[in-house]
Amino acid sequence: MITHATHERVTDSYQLNDSTFNKIRTLLLAVAVVGWILCAVGYFADPKQFFHSYLLGFSYSTSIALGALFFTMVQYLTGSAWSVTVRRFMETITSVLPLGLLLFIPVAIGFGYIYSYADTAMVHADPVLRLKESYLSKGWFLTRSIIYLSLWSLWGYKLYSNSVAQDQTKSLENMHTASRWSAPGLLMAVLSGSLASFDWIMSLNPKWYSTIFGLYYYVGGAWAMFSVLILVCIGLRKAGMLNHTITLEHFHDLGKWQFALTVFWAYIGFSQYMLIWYANIPEETIFFRWRSFGQWGGWSLLLLFGHFVIPFLVLIPRASKRNTTILGAVAVWVLAIHFVDQYWLIMPNFNRHVGLEDDTNIHFHWLDIVTVATVFASYGLFFWQRLRSHALVPVGDPRFEQGLEFVNS
């Protein structure tokens, strides 16, 4: 059904037009199909490299969906009006989380290739790992992962279905339902998201630990999620949709969130580094030692300047946050740097599996790009199909008109 609303005496269509829908669907489908074919080729050519790269692709893309789940619930709990016109995109991103259960299957299959503690003989020979043996067992690892993904899928589906139902009912009860799910949902998402990052990434080095790591992972995913949101909004406006519904005022606030998360990521990253440096405990400092020398030292500098300094300086001016060209360029940059961050978290661990303790070189592989593009396109195709099914904005939300009139002070 095509829904219309009027803002400043101009009517926007809130349904994806066929031309835009077919163009993007074809692109995403092509990337996904070609990507899965190349993944199959990579698997048969070098299964170990495939599974290492696939974890990168899965972690990168799922972190974005998890960030969307968190911020969707934040919007409901705060009663935010400015975000109503862009909230449907966040809700639709959360609705792709059930696909994560399928996309996780290669990680489960490749458990023995990815995680060093799959070698029970190595675990039994190490007194530290023996203490963690039950937690790090394959069965318990897979069970926890299924629980995480199932909880995210349940909350994502509930919030999305409740929102699209409100398009018809226009009932306040839908708002109350969303708030009732969001309050415990935030706690659930933060705890389960932190545990998932511990399991999927931090346990790549099963002796290393950081209590702040989960928040670091979460912030990076949320940062990238706002980039996806900005690019979707810009793309739809260029296609002639939502020009009078998503205004420069809304882009300004999206830019504020990008700026805020840029700073917050730097704060969390520095806090993690400072505490580990200050304590100087070998079990903790090994994380940064592996990433401080040779080519990895340069990669760390790229992360510092690319993830913080550059976007920080670009987004400081008010004018930058009100310029869709600059915001779009920053969004593309953020998605690229989020890849750099995820690669930095994951890949230095794998050489240590084969005893190359002093190898400071980056062993980049074409599968590292292919798996990220494939998983991202698979999620994206699901997202795009869902976006076509209902209005692009939550027209039944009582705060919708207020959101249309939003102006930054």
- Chain segment 393-402, per-residue pLDDT in tens: 999 999 999 9
What is the pLDDT averaged over residues 153-168? 95
Enter the tokens of residue 193: 């998201």
Residue 2 has pLDDT above 90, yes or no: no
Q: At 408, is the pLDDT very low, low, confident or very high (cuts 50, 70, 90)?
A: confident
Q: Which domain holds residue 49?
A: 4-404
Burial of 391 (0-12, 13-18, 19+ CB in 10 A): buried
160 — pLDDT class (breaks 50, 70, 90): very high
What pLDDT score does 398 carry?
A: 92
Provide the pLDDT for residue 10. Answer: 58
Number of domains in the chain: 1
Q: Is the pLDDT of residue 235 over 80?
A: yes
pLDDT score of 352 = 59
Question: Each residue of 291-328: pLDDT tens digit?
Answer: 998 999 999 999 999 999 999 999 999 999 999 999 99
Q: Which range, 17-21, 128-132, 150-154, is most confident?
A: 150-154
Judged against a pLDDT cut of 60, whether residue 353 lies above it is answered with no
pLDDT of 356 over the 60 cut: no
Q: Kindly report the number of other CB atoms within 10 A of residue 184's CB atom.
A: 11
In this prediction, residues 264-277 reach a mean pLDDT of 95
Bridge partner residues of 11 (DSSP): 6
User: φ and ψ at 13, to 5 degrees?
Assistant: -90, 135
DSSP string for residues in 151-186:
HHHHHHHHHHHHHHHHHHH--HHHHHHHHHHHHHHH
Q: For residue range 40-80, list pLDDT tens digits in order.
A: 999 999 999 999 999 999 999 999 999 999 999 999 999 99
Q: How many CB atoms lie within 10 A of CB 173?
A: 10
What pLDDT does residue 9 have? 43
Residue 283: its pLDDT value, please? 83
Domain annotation covers residue 89:
yes
Whether residue 162 is contained in a domain is answered as yes
Strand partners, 7: 10
- With both helix axes pointing from N to C terminus, report the angle between 47-78 and 18-45 in degrees, rounded to the nearest 10: 140
Average pLDDT for residues 193-204, to the nearest whole number?
A: 96
Say whether pLDDT at 169 is over 70. Answer: yes
pLDDT mean over 169-175:
91
In a domain, 299, yes or no: yes
The rounded distance, in Å, linking the Cα atoms of 151 and 191 is 11
- Whether 409 is covered by a domain: the verdict is no
Percentage of the chain exceeding pLDDT 70: 95
Place of tokens 């989020």: 338
Q: Token pair of 43, please?
A: 């698997």
Residue 241 is predicted with a pLDDT of 92
Confirm whether 297 is domain-assigned: yes
Does some domain include residue 356? yes
Q: Per DSSP, which regions of 213-256 are E strands?
A: none
pLDDT(274) > 60: yes
Go through 83-107 and write b for each residue having 16 or more CB atoms within 10 A of its CB, e for each that does not.
bbbbbbbbbbbbbbbbbbeebbebb
Q: What is the pLDDT averaged over residues 229-247?
A: 94
pLDDT above 90: residue 11: no
In terms of phi and psi (left: phi > 0; alpha: psi -120 to 50; beta: otherwise), the region of 368 is alpha
Instruction: Please name which of 289, 308, 309, 291 lies closest in space to residue 300, comparing C-alpha atoms.
Output: 291
Question: Mean pLDDT throughout 375-391?
Answer: 96
Q: Report yes or no: 265 and 308 within 8 Å, Cβ to Cβ.
A: yes
Percent of the chain with pLDDT over 90: 83
